[in-house]
Amino acid sequence: MSDLSSGDLPATASLGPTNAGPIPVDAGAAPAVWTTGAFWRQIGLLVAFAVLCLVGVLSAGGRFASVDNALVILRLAAIIGVISVGMTFVITAAGIDLSVGANAALASVMASSVGVQKWSNDHHWIAIVAVALFFGALVGLVNGVLIAYGKVVPFITTLAMLASARGLAEIKSNRKTQIADVRAFEEFFNRAPIPIPFTGKALPMIVVVFVLVAAAGWVLLNRTTFGRRTFAVGGNPEAARLAGINVRRHTVLLYVLLGVCCGIAAVLIIVRTTTGSATHGQLWELDAIAAVVIGGTLLSGGRGSITGTVIGVIIFSTLTNVFTLNNLSISAQNVAKGAVIVAAVLLQQLVASRSDR
């Protein structure tokens, strides 16, 4: 799958209703896929992943090179992956969200409250999902309104929300871990519905959800007007406004979309741990931003790749897995993640400086 950037719009693409009609774009022949920067960025990611797998095989042997371990990596990638898909949209539009972990924690606490669990046991477990999505979207809505209409810098807005949402989660849970005990909910999400040929294994539901979210995100970003507007807003918000795009409303929708992804992640963390807790989501913002940046999305906006983000998430999950199999500490893992983020940003700046010449 190749991902579009702000410079990859079709020749007659319209970013939205305007008084001047469709926005003219160079009508020359589209370049071959293998000559585009996006293609080679994704090839580079795949090469990096292959090297990492080779390191895993050489250092951990059969413990790494097994189907069971591959499923462990995918489970590890699923929750951060869902958030990273939403984060790709926000960063593509030149935004940022530091509150995603706290948002997911608050949503998990609200969805696993006694009242919601009682209603779910008496009626249907969908209430847990609905509450998690509602509170995730609500936090995203507040962020979006403050950024788009309050003119508060995204970094400051989401930093404040990080503290506020986690504080609300602590107040609601009384700083206690809430046990989720809804049998039908657990049975549904603990299934493994898709068999893997020739292995006797099956993809767990948590991974299936990640795949569905990633596929929906790819279509939304690359095949819809919403996605083209996202690239336009990130590339040049003033030009997007003059083209007829309601930049403020679109910005709010992007943060709501990311909030919904946080709600989905909250559901998955409840499934994985059978708990809702104010401590969930610690440093998830670091992992999500790292995966998005590694995947080729520009922090300055205007270019984004869901495919690259998915590969970036899997790379980080594999890195964590290799470190764990070799008994390396969490601290060493965090140092490695930080180094990878810095290297990726430096590489982006190098590529951008060369393209400007």
pLDDT digits (tens, 9 = 90+) for 180-235: 999 999 999 999 989 998 888 999 999 999 999 999 999 999 999 999 999 999 99
3-state secondary structure 63-86: HCCCHHHHHHHHHHHHHHHHHHHH
- Amino acid 349: pLDDT: 66
- The domains found in the chain, sorted by start residue, are 37-355 (1.10.3470)
Residue 127: the pLDDT is: 96
pLDDT for 327 equals 86
Nearest residue to 322 (alpha-carbon basis) of 79, 72, 84, 82: 72
CB 206 within 8 A of CB 272: yes
Strand 201-203 and strand 178-179: pairing? unpaired
Give the C-alpha separation, 13 to 25, whole Å.
8
What tokens were used for 258?
């990311």
CA–CA gap between residue 305 and residue 312 (Å, rounded): 10
Residue 222 · residue 306 · CB < 8 Å:
yes
Q: What is the pLDDT of residue 260?
A: 98
pLDDT tens per residue across span 106-121:
999 999 999 999 999 9
Contact (Cβ atoms closer than 8 angstroms) between residue 254 and residue 82: no
**Mean pLDDT value of segment 17-27:** 43
Using CA atoms, how far apart are residues 120 and 107, in angstroms rounded to an integer? Answer: 16
Task: Write out pLDDT tens, residues 137-182.
Answer: 999 999 999 999 999 999 999 999 999 999 999 999 999 999 999 9
Percentage of the chain with pLDDT > 70? Answer: 86
14 pLDDT above the threshold of 70? no
Measured from the Cβ of residue 67, the count of other Cβ atoms closer than 10 Å reads: 12
Which amino acid is it at 175? Answer: R
Q: How confident is the model at residue 10 (pLDDT cuts 50, 70, 90)?
A: very low
* Identity of residue 104: A
Q: Which of 29-43, 85-99, 135-149, 229-243 has the lowest mean pLDDT?
A: 29-43
| pLDDT higher than threshold 60 for residue 5 | no
293 has a pLDDT exceeding 80: yes
Q: Give dist(CA 106, CA 120) in Å, integer.
A: 19
Distance of CA 215 to the CA centre of its chain: 12
Measured CA to CA, the distance from residue 346 to residue 349 in angstroms comes to 5
